[in-house]
Amino acid sequence: MTLLDIRLLNVYEYHRMVEAGILDGDERVELLAGQIVNKATKTPPRCAVVKRTMELLQKSLGSLVFLSIHDSVRLNNYSQPEPDISVVIPDRLYYEDHHPTPLEIYLIIEVADTTLRTDCGIKAKIYAESGITDYWVLDVNNRQLHVFREPSQHGYQSRLMLGDDASSSPLQFPDVSFEVRDMLRPLITT
């Protein structure tokens, strides 16, 4: 058996495909490690967790950051994902002239209901290789927060799994703490 020699797409070619109409600008895809990948469906639980988390971030961090939902970040020449939430350095042009790059990103958050394996696997590796220092994955089904830190070319060197009774602080804002349960669906008690 021989390995196929796969030609990877770069960010420039990816953009050209949209400009040429090969990819529809509204198509739910992202560029990961040189490959065009379909994005997961936005299920109601996933959307609710994204909105709930955005509200918490906005209340706690306010004008200290820019918050984005499903907007592109440019990690390198071969990866331009659209994370569920990006917490980035404020830019007076609102990133009109470029997508945020790793040096401008404080925190990336992915919400997983059907994508846990991808978010904790290939995406974590790509984010680590690109130097994203703080990466969180909210696991909707198991009510957990996976916190990835200490990026290297081999992946993250630190990975914590927190239950919904725990809290976490963004690396850049250690005085601000978020309860995992507050980002997830409230538990109904009878």
pLDDT in tens, 18-54: 999 999 878 899 999 999 999 988 899 999 999 999 9
**pTM as predicted:** 0.93
Express each pLDDT in 57-88 by its tens digit. Answer: 999 999 999 999 999 999 999 999 999 999 99
First to last CA, the chain: 59
Q: Determine contact, residues 85/68, Cβ cutoff 8 Å.
A: yes
Q: Do 66 and 116 meet the contact criterion of CB atoms below 8 Å apart?
A: no
| Angle ∠(109,114,119) on CA atoms, nearest 5 | 40
Residues in the chain: 190
> Confidence band (pLDDT; 50, 70, 90) for 190?
low
| Residue position matching structure tokens 């200490």 | 150
Q: What is the pLDDT of residue 136?
A: 98
**Confidence class of residue 2 from pLDDT cuts 50, 70 and 90?**
low
Beta-bridged to residue 31, according to DSSP, are 36, 80
